[in-house]
Amino acid sequence: MTRPAPAPSPHGRDDGQAVLLLRLAGPLQSWGSRSAFNRRETRPEPTKSGVIGLLAAAAGLAREDPLDELLPLRLGIRVDQPGTLLRDYHTVSDYRGRPLPQTGVSGKGIQKPTSPAKHTHVTTRYYLQDAVFVAALAGPRALLTTLGQAVRAPAFPLALGRRSCPPTQPLFLGVHEGGLEEMLREKRWQASRRTHELYAAQRGRERGLGRPLYPARIDRSVTLEDPEGDDVLHDAPLSFDPHARSFTSRRVRHGWLSIPTDFPPPDDPTVDDHDHDDAGHDPFALLGW
């Protein structure tokens, strides 16, 4: 990979710039940003550290390798199917039958056994199940083309946040010319067929039609990396080195985009091509209500 060009304008298109699109879907995903020893949480959408980690694994980077080329890539996330939160119950014990150590350490940096002896510890893991996201990364075309090839033939196994969460196919959605927001607006809805049908049935019930209603477009929420954004996320990785993991903050903005569905074409009498405009934004549609 070559050194990246300066980051593009958040609202424009620069020469030599492109957008890499990824479909992040799988039975389970877990995008942690703040976790304690006995509690591993997940954010409701992919983090930049998780997406950069996936690309680094695909490209064959070691954990100690610098991320100078990957960090400047601007990230956009579109929530096509939010999924549901899963709480997984875990217990931890020492296979030798010894008491578990305390979480604190002594002045010499040594963990003492629990007193009274504790042989089992309860931990909690959170996952997103059946979620689908579209991740867009904007940056130099040559770099993104190389990363796209790596995603299709990864050097290391790829994961959706945690190693126990492999992605389903298709993962690679191409490298495209255009801006970050433009590409997220133009890419068709990537949710599952079941979600498509449930949504059409819901729209039909809301209109009292007694049949599914197939809109040509649908609103989906997005989070776009933007230097002028009004929210701050502390999830940009500076190093994945296990002995020197570090992160920095980035600014983002949240919004909604009207995106195309892959329902029947507009000449089908069951399609309402103006359904999106007439219905307006429905904040509960994202939850499938």
Residue 35, in any domain of the structure: yes
Report mean pLDDT in 10-residue bins for the chain, 289 residues: 41 67 96 72 93 96 94 97 90 80 74 78 88 97 96 96 93 96 96 91 90 92 95 93 90 96 63 45 49
Residue 150, in any domain of the structure: yes
pLDDT at 8: 40
Spatial CA neighbour of 17 closest among 6, 28, 3? 6
The answer to whether the CB of 204 falls within 8 A of the CB of 211 is yes
Q: Considering its fold, how many domains does the chain have in total?
A: 2
Q: What is the CATH number of the domain that holds 152?
A: 3.30.70.2660
Residue 205, in any domain of the structure: yes
Cα gap 110→273, rounded to integer Å: 67
Give the list of residues 6+ apart from residue 120 with CB closer than 8 angstroms, or none: 91, 92, 93, 100
Assess whether 173 and 274 both reside in one domain.
no
Residue 112, in any domain of the structure: no
pLDDT at 282: 52
Dihedral angle, C-alpha 32, 36, 40, 44, nearest 10 °: -40
pLDDT at 244: 86
Going along the chain, which residue ranges are E strands? 17-29, 35-36, 39-40, 74-81, 84-92, 121-140, 172-176, 214-215, 217-225, 231-239, 246-260, 271-272
Spatial CA neighbour of 77 closest among 125, 157, 135? 135
Assess whether 68 and 165 both reside in one domain.
yes
pLDDT at 176: 96
Residue 103, in any domain of the structure: no
Assess whether 271 and 181 both reside in one domain.
no
Range of the domain at 278: 188-216+261-289
Cα gap 194→21, rounded to integer Å: 23
Cα gap 285→278, rounded to integer Å: 15
Residue written as tokens 């550290």? 49
Spatial CA neighbour of 88 closest among 33, 127, 51? 127
